[in-house]
Structure 1
Amino acid sequence: MEITLEKASDTNASLNITLTPADYKPEVDKKLKEYGRKVQLKGFRPGHVPTSLVQKMYGKSILVDEINAMLSRTVSQYIRENKLQVVGDPVPNRDQADAIDWDNQTEFAFSYTLGLASEFDIDFSDLPSVTRYDIQAGEAEVSSTIADLQQRFHSHTHADEVGDSDTIYGELKQVNTPEGAEAFAAKTAFPMAQMADDAKGQFVGKKKDDTITFLLEQAFPDEKARANATGVKKDEAANLTGEFTFTIDDITRHEPAELNQEFFDKVLGAGAVDNEEQLRVKVAEIIQGNYARESDSLLRLDIEKNLLDNTPILLPDEFLKNWLLEVNEGKFTPEQIDEQYDDFTKSVKLQLIKNKIADKADIKVEFEEVLNVTRQMVREQFGFMGGENEEMNQTIDRIARNYLMDEKNNGQNYTSTFNRVYDDKVIEYAKTQLTIVSQDVTVDEFKAMAESR
């Protein structure tokens, strides 16, 4: 076998492979013998069909299959062993392949066009610093969060008259009934928050035992809200229109929870705090902890941008555009490829950079790491707790393994989880090599920066 790489430029090359009988014949002969033992042909005992006849019947297809398999292995192995920065897939010279005379040739030549990324290196000491934003929860944010919690842990009171956020209970009756139909009537509840704003004025201020006449479809134009208000299915609610009366039996109102020990215990757990000042401190810590995840996400984006902006890489643009058109089989026009090409090349370059970092730092991902991440995903998704419960841990492990090994999606679950773990390890390593500068910001300042990204 002869393999040569001819580089036309930093980003374009041809990989040429020549195969002689010594390369493929041993495997082809082996396959012919296997066929000879298995093939059943009238007039011959099983396993005694002459080799010449097997060759005539199956020789060509076996030769083609074996050479195609050999080419696939050879191309992949050459790229891997020579650490070529290949982008896209190797593209075979189809005219050359179509011209092969499989019946008479014994030596075969094949050529593949390769798209290459230009050579580059990563020197973290030359890269600018990246800012980590430490989000500080201000008094307004803490007060707003506590107010939301008071609403969440609200209490119910009976109101004297209807307010625009109350729930009113009573009897709903249809005024004008279609001919031959029975008038609709039901005991139900109207959440005022779901009522159309321009209809609320008919109800706000009304008291117990008052009766309001109104158009149902105006009060609840959304069919889902109308179904909720009438207690019927959505498709049935669509037919409920026209004048209705509603006689109020009761009015309930959500009152924000009082800032007392019962509220503190519900929010943070029994005995965690015993006054409002301590509550505010804890809530500030929780807010900062929640935003820390968002801060980490922004830091990740900024690290990736830093690596992209400061690592020049040339790509074979014409090759890649043609390759994208071909692999997407008419799903995109050349104009659409051009429109999305910049985003595509950014993802390609970023992956090349991450692969270079992983190679230099000897970053690897083991199966157990992928499994551990999946186990944690299962715990979070199903609300399972970790700990010493062996039966529960075995259940989690079984679900995680089944998810990773699901054959229905051709291993995509494992691949996507592996890539996520790999990506996380590369970014974590980059954090140890880059200069990270911390900066305190308010929640509003952080939101503005995140939106600008």
Structure 2
Amino acid sequence: MNITKEQIDKLNAVVKVAITKDDYQDKVNKILNDYRKQANIPGFRKGQVPIGLIKKQYGKAVLVDEVNKLLQDNLNKYLTEEKLDVLGNPLPKAQDDFDWNNENFDFEFELGLAPEFDVNLKTKKPVVQFKIVADKKMIDEQVERIQKQYGKMLSQTEVKKNSEVTGTFKNEAEEIENKTTIELSKIKSKKGIDTLVGSKVGDTVTIKTKGLFKEDYLLASALGIANDKAEKLNVEVSFNIDEINEREPAELNQELFDKLFGEGNVSSAAEMKAKIKEDSEKQFEQQSDQKLLNDVTEKLIDDTKFELPAEFLKKWIQVSGENPLTDEQASEEYEKSEKGLRYQLIEGKLIKENDLQVTLDEIKEFSKGFIKSQMAQYGHMNPTEEELENISTRVLGNQEEVKRLSEQLMSQKMLDLFKEKSNLKVKEVSYENFIKEAYK
């Protein structure tokens, strides 16, 4: 067998594979002899069928199968030994005069080669790294929410501006009938507030839906309808009042602190606010980190210039799926996937240059951290090492989970690399301003 490579240009090559009879004949003969020993053909005793008859019946199929195995094994071995960084898979070139009745065979494969390029993390223009801080307004609002949540409900005789009112919204034409509780503090419409204030249990009032709440999503919840319907809704609904309450805020005392943070961990309102600030900012880190990862990725794709073997990749896309694509469909798919492919190449180069690896031990520890956080959500705050070990072992028995955790861990390592080596500009913002600036 002889394998040679013809370089077309920097991104394209053709590999030629010449297979002779000597390469496959012994294997084909062995398989046909094994067939002969097992064959049950009427008129012949088992194992006594003439080899010529076996060759006539099975020879071509065995030959094709063995040559293809030989071809694939040696082609893959050649690509590995020559350290050819190929994109997609080798594409066989069509041969109109190919004949399986010949003894020697020549095959040709088109290759798309990965480009050579450099990645510079120190981009000229810095990437903004948002540091989200919990400002006084946010902390005070969180304290207020906590006080409401743990406060007492006091029955009222009539609706006031601080009331929580339970009742049923109805509109027959729009098929609305939903019992709910609304807080007057969340109503935006002045006319709606004026209509409700002074009402008593048993009263039915009529309210317009358009602009009723300060937050648009509250209307869908209050009426028990889909968000898209609520967005367009502009009708009058009746509201029959069943119950009126005032929520007396909980006192900021040791009893509340112990409920929230565990016994003795917080002992004053100032410490409570400091803990809220710390916990909030820790949660915000995930969002700011994801934003940073996305922004550095986009910057690298924009700034790292290299050519791709586009025509080869379009051809490969055309034939690699379950159903063949037209030229136009393949071009469209290539346009959609080009950006992702560029980042895969950039990421691969960064991983290699910075020797980023994910070990099984790291995946195991990473999975334990993930499991611990999941258990905490269900109130199990201090699982034992044995519990974590047992659950982790079960999780890592699933190859799909191992792959997912491995990708998450590598993503974290890439983020750490970006933080260490990229040109970043730290910007402190409130959460409200982060949303405005990051997703404007």
TM-score by length of 2: 0.75
* 8 Å contact from structure 2 (residues 129, 288) kept in 1: yes
Within 1, Cα distance between the matches of 2:124 and 2:29?
Answer: 57
| Counterpart position of 1:109 | 106
* 8 Å contact from structure 2 (residues 313, 334) kept in 1: no
- Structure 1 residue 19, shift from structure 2 partner: 1.0
Within 2, Cα distance between the matches of 1:325 and 1:196?
Answer: 55
| Counterpart position of 1:191 | 181
| Counterpart position of 2:41 | 41
* 8 Å contact from structure 1 (residues 17, 111) kept in 2: yes
| Counterpart position of 2:288 | 295
1:256-335 alignment, distance < 5 Å: 256-328=249-321
Q: Deviations over 1:45-97 (max 9, x none)?
A: 5445443333222222122122222222233333333232322222111x31x
Within 1, Cα distance between the matches of 2:84 and 2:223?
Answer: 63
Cα distance 1:46–1:320, how it changes in 2: closer, same or farther (>3 A)? Answer: same
Within 1, Cα distance between the matches of 2:382 and 2:32?
Answer: 56
| Counterpart position of 2:116 | 119
Amino acid at match of 1:111: E
Cα distance 1:261–1:18, how it changes in 2: closer, same or farther (>3 A)? Answer: same
Q: Secondary structure at the match of 1:119?
A: coil
| Counterpart position of 2:63 | 63
- Structure 1 residue 273, shift from structure 2 partner: 2.1
Q: Deviations over 1:186-207 (max 9, x none)?
A: xx96424699989887765322
Amino acid at match of 2:158: E
- Structure 1 residue 330, shift from structure 2 partner: 6.5
Cα distance 1:190–1:421, how it changes in 2: closer, same or farther (>3 A)? Answer: closer
| Counterpart position of 2:434 | 446
Q: Secondary structure at the match of 1:390?
A: helix
* 8 Å contact from structure 1 (residues 3, 18) kept in 2: yes
Within 1, Cα distance between the matches of 2:243 and 2:66?
Answer: 82
Within 2, Cα distance between the matches of 1:362 and 1:206?
Answer: 70
Cα distance 1:22–1:392, how it changes in 2: closer, same or farther (>3 A)? Answer: same
Cα distance 1:300–1:249, how it changes in 2: closer, same or farther (>3 A)? Answer: closer
Q: Secondary structure at the match of 1:42?
A: coil
Unaligned runs of at least 5 residues, structure 1: 176-187, 229-242, 405-411
- Structure 1 residue 10, shift from structure 2 partner: 1.4
Q: Secondary structure at the match of 2:250?
A: coil
Cα distance 1:99–1:365, how it changes in 2: closer, same or farther (>3 A)? Answer: farther
| Counterpart position of 1:388 | 384
1:155-170 alignment, distance < 5 Å: 155-162=152-159, 166-168=164-166
| Counterpart position of 2:231 | none
Q: Which of 133, 140, 155 lines up with 1:136 in the alignment?
A: 133
Q: Secondary structure at the match of 1:259?
A: coil
- Structure 1 residue 329, shift from structure 2 partner: 6.0
Within 2, Cα distance between the matches of 1:365 and 1:396?
Answer: 16
Cα distance 1:283–1:190, how it changes in 2: closer, same or farther (>3 A)? Answer: closer
Q: Identify the range of structure 1 (70-79 vs 383-392) with the bigger mean alpha-carbon deviation.
A: 383-392
Q: Which of 204, 208, 220 lines up with 1:212 in the alignment?
A: 204
Within 1, Cα distance between the matches of 2:129 and 2:238?
Answer: 59
State the identity %.
29
Cα distance 1:250–1:322, how it changes in 2: closer, same or farther (>3 A)? Answer: same
Q: Deviations over 1:286-325 (max 9, x none)?
A: 1221112222222322433343344332101222233334
Cα distance 1:101–1:328, how it changes in 2: closer, same or farther (>3 A)? Answer: closer
Within 2, Cα distance between the matches of 1:50 and 1:39?
Answer: 10
- Structure 1 residue 158, shift from structure 2 partner: 0.9
Q: Secondary structure at the match of 2:439?
A: helix
Number of aligned residues: 412
Cα distance 1:214–1:371, how it changes in 2: closer, same or farther (>3 A)? Answer: same
Q: Secondary structure at the match of 2:9?
A: coil
Within 1, Cα distance between the matches of 2:374 and 2:48?
Answer: 60
Q: Secondary structure at the match of 1:5?
A: strand
Q: Is 1:403 paired with 2:394?
A: no
* 8 Å contact from structure 1 (residues 151, 257) kept in 2: yes
Within 1, Cα distance between the matches of 2:265 and 2:272?
Answer: 9
Q: Secondary structure at the match of 1:274?
A: coil
Amino acid at match of 1:23: D
Q: CA RMSD in A?
A: 4.4
Within 2, Cα distance between the matches of 1:429 and 1:285?
Answer: 25
- Structure 1 residue 107, shift from structure 2 partner: 0.9
Q: Secondary structure at the match of 1:166?
A: strand
Within 2, Cα distance between the matches of 1:137 and 1:224?
Answer: 28
Q: Secondary structure at the match of 1:100?
A: coil
Cα distance 1:189–1:162, how it changes in 2: closer, same or farther (>3 A)? Answer: farther
- Structure 1 residue 5, shift from structure 2 partner: 1.5
Q: Secondary structure at the match of 1:14?
A: strand
| Counterpart position of 2:229 | none
Amino acid at match of 1:403: N
* 8 Å contact from structure 1 (residues 128, 435) kept in 2: no
| Counterpart position of 1:184 | none
- Structure 1 residue 378, shift from structure 2 partner: 4.8
| Counterpart position of 2:175 | none
Within 1, Cα distance between the matches of 2:148 and 2:118?
Answer: 55
Q: Deviations over 1:132-163 (max 9, x none)?
A: 43333222222233233334434322122135
